[in-house]
Amino acid sequence: MAISNRSQSGAIYEHIEVKNPVTSEIIGSIPQTSADEIKETIERARDAQIGWGALSPSERVGYIRRWADLVWEQQETLIKINRRETGKTDSGAFLEIIVLDNILQYYIHHAPNFLKTQQRRTIVPFIQKAKVFYKPHGVVGVISPWNYPYLLGLIDLVPALIAGNSALLKPSEVTPFTAEYAIKLMHEAGIPRDVVQVIHGDGRAGATLVEHVDYIAFTGSTATGRKVAETAAKRLIPYSLELGGKDPCIVLEDADLDMTAAGLVRSAFENAGQVCISVERVYADARIYDALMDKLLYYAGKYQMGSDDGMDIHMGSMTNTRELERTEAHIHDAISKGARVVFGGRRRPELGPLFFEPTILADVDHAMDVMRQETFGPILPVMKFHNLEEAIRLANDSEYGLSASIFTRDFKRAEAIARRLDSGDVSVNRPQMVVATPSLPSGGQRNSGVGRRNGKEGLLRFTHTQSFLTDNLFGQQPELRLADPFSLQVAMVLRTIRRYIKFI
Ligand code: NDP
């Protein structure tokens, strides 16, 4: 939370106080970067980008490799910092490191190739030659949320750097210390200070950043994403938006119900449900609905909640009161419209002020907020379907389109269903796996966002193309007409040949 103070000289300065959500204690404070400081930081980044952009992609990747190794060595510290500001579990904080490390290794191996100058064909073979260069935008701003402060702070920033941009990270004011530490390690790995910097502050700092950078990579809510897009559109700068979701999961009648139930519990309650790609709606075939509910209750009963260390604690605290209250509001709304809480549904103050039980709802329908609005809390609502058309219609009946999943043994059928789902990705029998698969682009459609992260696409968005063409003038005469008779004849002959042979 931003706090204003007055210094001895009378000047007003602001700092951010950061709370541990499990204990409510203030764990530290950090100065808020003022608008003037942000502009100066961007100017320094602009100067530093010239030298950084002049390095080869392999040289830049070398720095990222050193940084990745340093993070790996310092993972315990990083996990501790992350857990103190989010209240998440040991395994949750470690997951952020391992998922990002996979993405780093992917780019370390592939990015130099993706960024290589491409040769393209021309319309006049042998005489003209053409190339495409991938050039950095300049200064990239990255704005990230609090739910995965390490993974989501760095997942866009790293490819932006590899592509030759300098970058500024504005983490959520709720979780600034994880980002601060990750960037400190980047400097220790040798990346010049002004090439990668952190700025701190609330939404105002984010808005200032969007006003001055050359590209903005935003992760957060749809409402804020829309504001970011409006400013970017006014300035005509490119951007990517990774926004909210209401991810559906379809369970077909042939699914392995133990694997399905355990997978759903994991995917709905991981990080206390504060995951953009958590399963937020389940549509189960009516023939296996009761059996699936029994299995869900069984696996939810084994799900461990708490703040202790160790990989056997499955779910920690929620991070913000706002999300906790929205979770409760969705449950109350659902109950008032006929839903039943079949598991959980209560706060657990004895564990900490923001602990909330993993909750399973039955008898839900699309009149309820819990099936339509993003919850960002540990709720798993399960609804019956009677035929596949109905399941697909319900899954697509949403303003969002981030990620979706299917449980089945029949992959051909799953592929046919996936092609009809309006989402950025679909995974079968393993929800949330696409974002952890570095070669696959991930991102949303509709209100879930614009653009893709990861894969070749996620790297090349941080570049613009420059086309380059040479003409050796072979056999040509000085000519003022746009086309002389001989060239026209050649063009006609080439056209006839091109009808049958692929030239370009
Ligand atoms: P917010 O949109 O509230 O905030 C996201 C970031 O934007 C924060 O750093 C925030 O700063 C900053 N911000 C706030 N106002 C502005 C503004 N006007 N201009 C620029 N930046 C601004 O989202 P949350 O932090 O609450 O994150 C939760 C949301 O993020 C959920 O909707 C979730 O679905 C989505 N999300 C999407 C993901 C994806 O990959 N698609 C992944 C994870 C989350 P501050 O926090 O300091 O106010």
pLDDT in tens, 209-239: 999 999 999 999 999 999 999 999 999 999 9
Q: What are phi and psi of 463, to 5 degrees?
A: -130, 160
- Beta strands across the sheet bearing 425-428: 340-343, 359-362, 379-385, 279-285, 247-251, 403-407, 425-428
Cα–Cα distance for residue pair 334/328, rounded to 1 Å: 10
Q: What is the pLDDT of residues 138-171, one digit of tens each?
A: 999 999 999 999 999 999 999 999 999 999 999 9
**What local confidence, expressed as pLDDT, does residue 452 receive?**
98
Q: What percent of the chain lies above the pLDDT cut of 90?
A: 92
**What local confidence, expressed as pLDDT, does residue 24 receive?**
94
Find the farthest-apart pair of alpha carbons in the chain and give their distance in angstroms, rounded. Answer: 89
Segment 462-474 mean pLDDT: 97
Q: What is the pLDDT of residues 358-408, one digit of tens each?
A: 999 999 999 999 999 999 999 999 999 999 999 999 999 999 999 999 999
Residues 198 and 268 both lie in one domain: no
Residues 239 and 127 both lie in one domain: yes
**What local confidence, expressed as pLDDT, does residue 245 receive?**
98
**What local confidence, expressed as pLDDT, does residue 484 receive?**
87
**What local confidence, expressed as pLDDT, does residue 12 receive?**
52
497 is a domain residue: no
503 is a domain residue: no
- Note if 242 is an active site residue: yes
Residue 2 scores a pLDDT above 90? no
Segment 481-502 mean pLDDT: 88
Q: How does residue 486 score in pLDDT terms, banded at 50, 70 and 90?
A: confident
**What local confidence, expressed as pLDDT, does residue 4 receive?**
62
Cα–Cα distance for residue pair 361/331, rounded to 1 Å: 8
Q: Pick the catalytic residue: 270, 276, 323, 374?
A: 276
Question: Which pTM value belongs to this model?
Answer: 0.95
How many structural domains comprise the chain? 2
| Ligand 1 close to Cβ of residue 82 (< 6 A) | no
- Give the Å distance between the CA of 271 and the centre of ligand 1: 16
| Ligand 1 close to Cβ of residue 443 (< 6 A) | no
**What local confidence, expressed as pLDDT, does residue 219 receive?**
98
Residues 373 and 392 both lie in one domain: yes
Residue 82 scores a pLDDT above 90? yes
| Ligand 1 close to Cβ of residue 23 (< 6 A) | no
Cα–Cα distance for residue pair 349/22, rounded to 1 Å: 10
Residues 146 and 67 both lie in one domain: yes
| Ligand 1 close to Cβ of residue 216 (< 6 A) | no
**What local confidence, expressed as pLDDT, does residue 68 receive?**
98
- Give the Å distance between the CA of 448 and the centre of ligand 1: 12
378 is a domain residue: yes
| Ligand 1 close to Cβ of residue 220 (< 6 A) | yes
Ligand 1: residue whose CA is nearest its atom 8:
172
**What local confidence, expressed as pLDDT, does residue 453 receive?**
98
Residues 234 and 251 both lie in one domain: no
Residue 13 scores a pLDDT above 70? no
Range of the domain at 114: 38-243+455-464
491 is a domain residue: no
Q: What is the CATH number of the domain that holds 257?
A: 3.40.309.10
Ligand 1: residue whose CA is nearest its atom 22:
203
> Which residues, 6+ apart, have CB-to-CB distance to 398 below 8 Å?
246, 248, 372, 422, 446
Residue 424 scores a pLDDT above 80? yes
Segment 195-219 mean pLDDT: 97
Residue 498 scores a pLDDT above 60? yes
Residue 117 scores a pLDDT above 70? yes
Residue 320 scores a pLDDT above 80? yes
| Ligand 1 close to Cβ of residue 85 (< 6 A) | no
| Ligand 1 close to Cβ of residue 244 (< 6 A) | yes
Segment 245-254 mean pLDDT: 98
**Best probe residue, ligand 1, of 221, 320, 402, 432 (max atoms within 8 Å of C-beta):** 221
Pairing of strands 359-362, 340-343: antiparallel
- Note if 328 is an active site residue: no
**What local confidence, expressed as pLDDT, does residue 314 receive?**
97
- The mean pLDDT value of the chain amounts to 96
- How far the first Cα of the chain sits from its last, in Å, is 57
Residues 167 and 251 both lie in one domain: no
260 is a domain residue: yes
Tell me if 55 sits within 8 A of 350, measured CB to CB.
no
Q: How does residue 8 score in pLDDT terms, banded at 50, 70 and 90?
A: low
